[in-house]
Chains A and B, each alone.
Chain A
Amino acid sequence: MQAVKYARAESVAEAVRLLQEGGDGARPLAGGTDVIVQARERTRDIDLFVDIKHIPEVVDIRHGADGSLTIGAATPCYQIYGDATIAERFPILVDSTSLIGGTAIQGRASLGGNLCNSSPAADGIPSLIVLEAQVEIAGPNGRRTVAVEDFCTAPGRNVLGSGEFVVSLSFPAPAAGSGARFLRFIPRNEMDIAVTNAATQIRLNGDGSVAWARVAIGAVAPTPLLVSEAADALVGQPLSEDSIAAAASASRAAANPIDDMRGSVRQRVHLAGVLTERTIRHAAERAA
């Protein structure tokens, strides 16, 4: 392990101050399931962990009276998938949080950490994108909000500046007639990094036509991608084999993956289409 120091922040202001004073080597510590490994294996230069888990708004779940949702950035996965109201209103968040790591990882890992780790293959981010999550960021100049699809900028990189950290993620209430689903492909049953993943949220009109949709794919580009062309292929018409195939085709076209030990370019492009198609069908089932 690098000679890393540990500090516990009791407030957002204290966390910002500690991160700012710590400079480039300071990192917020949420569940630590990525960042402690990075410090130990020296894949990131880290000399200070600022523990943000003792700040109430960073570790809580708030349901708005209007059905909206705010999740503290460091809220562990098990609390998210164990929340009955989230399971009812936002089951796609259960899809993601229940397959990130194993049980011991889920006891610590958070959606905010998954986002800030900014892996192209993050299993939390496509779900956040299709739910139109807004990222609440605190920093030396106060607070700002970023749409989650604009947060990641490259593998392991994001829009956070010096002294900034993610406080929470906010989600609008799902409209009536909407449903969402996340799926990933891995060659085993659990505990693996996605070869490709995808999420869809869809809203159906009373007549069965698609009123609105969002599709996101992961592990096929430097960042998780919002594929607006896939949504465009669905909206304004009844869900059909043709429209679903057109959306899958749009995802394949948007995919720009690499070859690595987990999968080839050809396999990942194919999977982007398959998972787009499946998440659309599953999201429509949840919408019905």
Chain B
Amino acid sequence: MATEHIVVNCTINGESQTFLANERDSLLEALRDRIGLTGAKEGCNNGNCGACCVNMDGRIVNSCLVMAGECEGSEIRTVEGLAMGDQLTPLQNAFLEQAALQCGICTPGFLVAAEALLEQNPDPSEHEIRYWLAGNLCRCTGYDKIIKAVQQAAGQSVV
């Protein structure tokens, strides 16, 4: 079947964007292959791993489970939109200080998801952090370091 192209207008990391996508593209494919934002990663491509997590209209979503056409008029925030130049966010710094990443594939998803948590709940309990991040899988850290990084970013004492 011939490839159908669609034009999508949306806001990505605060900037208006118009891009051409294949009609069958997911938001993840559009971000990586059309727009050149390769921060969001393809892990499972079926909604289990959270490596492709981005913020869409104020809620985190798995970008592999969003069609590019659905993004018309929406506001997307990706991991590339977190730091201001080389000025990392407190959460990003906390990930470095707590060694909350090893291979790093899951990290963009964890950062986007945890930033969204801290936006709506600046002082989450460990239980709330763990449940919020249950849809983000990490095969390196065993999660404890990631939880500690989020706690540090929330200004909580971390042992």
Contacts and interface: CB of A to CB of B under 8 A. Distances in A.
- Do A and B interact with each other, yes or no? yes
Given A1-B26, A107-B59, A108-B61, A37 B47 contact: yes
Contacts of A78: 59
B45 A102 contact: no
B35 interface: no
Contacts of A40: 45-46
Interface stretch (B78-86, B88-96, B128-136, B148-156): B128-136
Contact of B50 (A6, A8, A53, A102): A102
Contacts of B117: 103
Interface residues of A, number: 30
Interface string B50-76: 100100100111101111111010000
A31 B65 CA distance: 8
A101 interface: yes
Contacts of B72: 8
Contacts of A107: 56, 59-61
Contact of A51 (B26, B59, B65, B70): B70
Interface residues of B, number: 36
A104 B69 contact: no
A191 B24 contact: no
A103 B4 contact: no
A180 B137 CA distance: 33
A102 B134 contact: yes
B59 A36 contact: no
Nearest to A188: B134
Interface of A: 1-6, 8, 29, 31-33, 36-37, 40-41, 49, 51, 53, 76, 78, 101-105, 107-108, 189-191
Q: Pick the 9 closest A-B CB pairs, nearest first.
A: A102-B135, A6-B69, A107-B59, A3-B1, A190-B134, A1-B24, A102-B134, A37-B46, A104-B60
